Amino acid sequence: MFLDRERTPISMPRIYLDNAATSWPKPESVYLAVDETLRSVGVSAARGGYSSSVEAGKIIKQTRQSVSRLIGVEDASRVAFTSGCTDSLSTAIFGFLKQGDHAITTTVDHNSVVRPLIELRDAGVIELTIVDCDEEGFVQSSAIADAITSKTTLVAVTHASNVLGTIQPAREIGEICSSREVAFLLDAAQTLGHLPVDVQSINCQFLACAGHKGLLGPLGTGILYCAPSVTDRLRPLRFGGTGSERVDQGQPTTMPAMLEAGSLNVPAIAGLGAGIGFLESAEGRAGVQRSKQLATDALCVISKIAGVGVFGPEPNVDRMPVIAFSVDGYDSATIAGIFDSSFQIQTRSGFHCSPLLHQSLGTDVDGLVRISIGHFNTAEQVEIAVAAIREIAAG
């Protein structure tokens, strides 16, 4: 056993409110699928003609189909598995952009979008425009339209802010990009599994997502959808064995093999498939509704506590189950520390990989505390967190 149980009290009761980072707990079916696959299948997919390898291949195929169904894609081969949303975003950004291109992103976007773009800009490969948001984290689609030039090839925007929960007008942005013949990369890390996300109606050519957040799969899973119109221009980041087209010396040029060099994480992908299966069940759908309602209710109460500042859209505006707040006289790390040590509540403090947003909100010194509610949180847990905020704010 690698866990030091003295220092890692895994059985200690805790209220986990950091689901925007990764969801926990997972549905029972996810644990079972990972365990069963690791124990009973246990081999690489498409690496041998023997029955266990074929079985592993079926698991990959089924999960790919589940993901495709979920995002409204008919041809499941358009979806590649990755190790997480960062991997998906880097694959799309570095693989698609070329010398002389212009790209657009926003101040609400996560470092996993912004940093690859800044890297390319600083290396002199691309020009970059970063469109600002308003104080609630909304980006105007007209601001994106205004930023498009004749050199623009990619608009990369997060579907919802991981800090504020603000949902961006993805359809409007998709429409603008389509009319200007610019590829649209949607970062759905915070929305898939919480909101319906359909790549056809949004009109995005890339969709990047984690498998371990709203989709309830294990850490180490992610997906990247690539439309046929962008695949020709896409160069893989990783080259190597794919178990297919073995007589060819070069990397496969068709999806998904072109982006899936190396052995896939079959047990985790089995878990991801089970997570999506759970979301499609009545219990899964109820979890989505409950998390949303709990966040709205908590927001209404927290925003009235004296000395507490709440950030993001008003409680009556549709948002993700994320609440970002500050308490007068405290920096965010201190509050999260008190939450953990005195209340066994696990939340995130600091800048949440979105430094540009904090600069624009003026929270770039103390950061914000973020409570993110998941599919399995209860009203009682959220009430305890709200009471804790009240107690800290009272001093």
Ligand X SMILES: Cc1ncc(COP(=O)(O)O)c(C=O)c1O
Report the interface residues with ligand X, using CB under 6 A. 21, 84-86, 110, 112, 158, 162, 187, 189-190, 210, 222
| Beta-carbon count within 10 A of 270 CB | 27
**Cβ proximity to ligand X, 189 vs 310, nearer residue:** 189
Cβ at position 189, least distance to ligand X in Å = 3
Q: Are 110 and 162 in contact (CB under 8 A)?
A: yes
**Residue 37 structure tokens:** 């696959």
Residue type for position 332: S
**Cβ proximity to ligand X, 290 vs 352, nearer residue:** 352
- CA–chain centroid gap for 107, Å, is 17
Q: What is the rounded end-to-end Cα distance, in angstroms, of the chain?
A: 42
Q: Are 185 and 206 in contact (CB under 8 A)?
A: yes
**Cβ proximity to ligand X, 219 vs 345, nearer residue:** 219
Cβ at position 108, least distance to ligand X in Å = 9
**Cβ proximity to ligand X, 208 vs 308, nearer residue:** 208
Cβ at position 163, least distance to ligand X in Å = 9
**Cβ proximity to ligand X, 167 vs 388, nearer residue:** 167
Cβ at position 194, least distance to ligand X in Å = 12
Question: Coil, strand, or helix at residue 125?
Answer: coil
Cβ at position 87, least distance to ligand X in Å = 7
Cβ at position 72, least distance to ligand X in Å = 20
Question: Coil, strand, or helix at residue 393?
Answer: helix
Do strands 206-210 and 183-187 pair parallel, antiparallel, or not at all (unpaired)? Answer: parallel
Question: Coil, strand, or helix at residue 39?
Answer: helix
**Cβ proximity to ligand X, 78 vs 213, nearer residue:** 213
Cβ at position 212, least distance to ligand X in Å = 6
Alpha helices of the chain — where are they, by DSSP H? 28-36, 51-71, 85-96, 111-122, 141-147, 170-179, 199-202, 228-231, 266-279, 282-302, 332-343, 355-361, 379-394
Cβ at position 65, least distance to ligand X in Å = 22
**Cβ proximity to ligand X, 276 vs 327, nearer residue:** 276
**Cβ proximity to ligand X, 197 vs 210, nearer residue:** 210
**Maximum distance among all Cα pairs of the chain, rounded to whole angstroms:** 70
How far apart CA 344 and CA 212 sit, in angstroms, is 23
**Cβ proximity to ligand X, 159 vs 393, nearer residue:** 159
Kindly give, in sequence order, each residue whose CB lies less than 8 Å from that of residue 125, ignoring residues fewer than 6 positions away. 97, 98, 99, 101
DSSP-assigned letter for residue 168:
P
Q: By CB neighbour count within 10 A (0-12 exposed, 13-18 middle, 19+ buried), where does 176 fall? A: buried
How far apart CA 256 and CA 180 sit, in angstroms, is 27
Cβ at position 20, least distance to ligand X in Å = 6
Cβ at position 190, least distance to ligand X in Å = 5
**Residue 146 structure tokens:** 């205004």
**Cβ proximity to ligand X, 66 vs 162, nearer residue:** 162
